[in-house]
Structure 1
Amino acid sequence: MSADKCPVDHSSLSASGSKAESCPVDPPTRSTWSSIFGGSSSSQPQTHAPSQAATPAPTGPTSSLSTARETSTIPRNESGERWVYPSEAQFFAAMARKNHNPQAPDMRVIVPIHNAVNERAWGEILGWEEGKGGEKCGGAKLISFKGRPQDLTPRARFKALMGYTPPFDRHDWVIDRCGTRIRYVIDFYTGRPAPGTSNVSFFLDVRPALDNWEGVKMRTARFLDRWTGSITQSLFGPSQSSTPPKQSS
């Protein structure tokens, strides 16, 4: 498999059938992201150095869009290859092919946010995977991905019934941990802007799916850990530092 791919194969989106335009967010979701994040004046998230892979420069009104692609931190196989995000030009082209009316200037905001969100999702997964034994084979790898923006998870459905705004997207990521495959569910929510600003924020709800025993064990362990921690704090208060405070002279 080629290294210049993102976590999911959307080869049908490319007129040439090239898999190089694959990325972790499908075109309908990109359109949603465009409406949410497009034109935002917020400071852009920090990104990693772009990869050397690039696509032919676009022509016409989109000729100013970058063709540089950013290499993610997400491993995709045993050889150490990592997923690669789409360039501004690829992101725009994929949306335009599906008639989602993209705006070229928005790509400079949407693409860094898109990349940062996926990096944060991977970081959340690594938090779940810590201490689970993946280090024996070089760590967990993301092996497949599926966008399901129209499918509410049971948790998201329950929150919606309670009056919360539904997530604007959902992803299912399958990781490999030394031969054990685990599906993670990710709900993407928009957050409230910081007071006095119009910056768009977001937060992620990442957890193992309850479709196998491993996922059930992980979710149960996390729940019990938080529950016992809450009881301990309610009984004894927050933990105190073992170092006594300095006495004033």
Structure 2
Amino acid sequence: MGQTASSTAAPTAPSGCPVPHHGASSSSTPEKCPVDHKAPAACPVEHKKPSATDTSSPAKCPIDHGQTNPLNQMPELAQSRAPNQSVDLPTERTESSIPRDGSAKWDYPSPQQFYNALVRKGWETPEEHVETMVEIHNFLNEEAWQEVLKWEKRQYNFDDIQLSRFKGRPGEMSPKARFFMLAGWLFPSKFNTEPPFDRHDWVVRRPQTGEEVRYVIDYYSAPPEPDGSPVFSLDVRPALDSFSSLKERIVVATEEAWSSLKEDSKPPEPSVSRQH
């Protein structure tokens, strides 16, 4: 699946909703979602199961990342209460760890802005779960950034990488996601048949060279932990916009395949029995 994916399960958040944490490696990244705690954990967004040739996306991030303020590159979301809203939600925004330029970092939407985005899209979400949803949203983005940095360190020798701009593309399935959907349709016992529930494109800037590199991030739901905690997986990789990105993708895929082959070829460790 490429270098950027690490499944993540969820410890319990203060609100009682699960929050994902790192689990097994697998080309993905996590985030939290409010769930019915009496039922198996699941993403709060309804996921359709499109065919392998379906170009639609089953779910969307509530934040329309395409509509941004040109001054701060963030969505214009109201901080006022929504009609019929019964619970006050915080309006403070959290600063991310993701550099926007040499002196500023990106800010995440406040719970009130997040809720307003949900209302605008017609999603019915219990207001008491919104703060947890925002924590999950932020957590997944932080994890995605760490995966981007892993890729960048392979080619760029400085630590001043910046997220120049980004765009949510929930209605467009990436070629890689489409390929794995087809593989799941043909070989359901070997490949996941669930499509990604969201997609982002991030453009990273390398200040020392002036280069910009686009990354594609597919967000997947994974089977829950035994205790019911939800798990999410992120597949992060450079887009095939340049020869260097293509080369790096091939190199990483080869390294992972070789590592897996060596693991499979190891002889089993001898067992030791003790006679009494």
- Cα displacement (A) at 1:217: 1.9
- Cα displacement (A) at 1:189: 0.4
Offset from partner CA, 1:116-171 (integer Å, 9 cap, x none): 01001001101111142251xx4211011111112111221121122221000111
Deviating above 6 A after TM superposition, structure 1's stretches of 4 or more consecutive aligned residues are none
Structure 2 residues not aligned, in runs of 5+: 1-31, 42-77, 185-192, 269-276
Corresponding residue of 1:214: 244
Other structure's SS at 2:94 match = strand
- Give TM-score scaled by structure 1 length: 0.67
Give me the identity figure in percent.
39
Corresponding residue of 1:13: none
Matched, 1:102 2:121: no
Which residue, 90, 94, 105 being the options, matches 1:66? 90
Corresponding residue of 2:152: 129
Aligned pairs for 1:41-120 within 5 A: 41=37, 58=81, 61-79=85-103, 81-120=104-143
Matched, 1:38 2:34: yes
Structure 2 distance, partners of 1:174, 1:62, is 38
- Cα displacement (A) at 1:180: 0.9
Structure 2 distance, partners of 1:77, 1:40, is 40
Going from structure 1 to structure 2, the CA distance change for 1:40 and 1:142 (only over 3 Å counts) comes to farther
Matched, 1:155 2:185: no
Going from structure 1 to structure 2, the CA distance change for 1:40 and 1:71 (only over 3 Å counts) comes to farther
Offset from partner CA, 1:20-72 (integer Å, 9 cap, x none): xxxxxxxxxxxxxxxx9234558xxxxxxxxxxxx866487344211121110
User: Letter of the aligned partner of 2:216 in structure 1?
Assistant: V
Structure 2 distance, partners of 1:131, 1:159, is 26
Other structure's SS at 1:189 match = strand
Structure 2 distance, partners of 1:237, 1:132, is 35
Other structure's SS at 1:162 match = helix
- Cα displacement (A) at 1:227: 3.1
Going from structure 1 to structure 2, the CA distance change for 1:56 and 1:155 (only over 3 Å counts) comes to closer
User: Letter of the aligned partner of 2:135 in structure 1?
Assistant: P
Kindly tell me the number of residue pairs found equivalent between the two proteins: 187
For the aligned residue pairs, the C-alpha RMSD in angstroms reads: 2.5
Corresponding residue of 2:205: 176
Matched, 1:190 2:221: yes
Structure 1 residues not aligned, in runs of 5+: 1-35, 43-54, 239-249
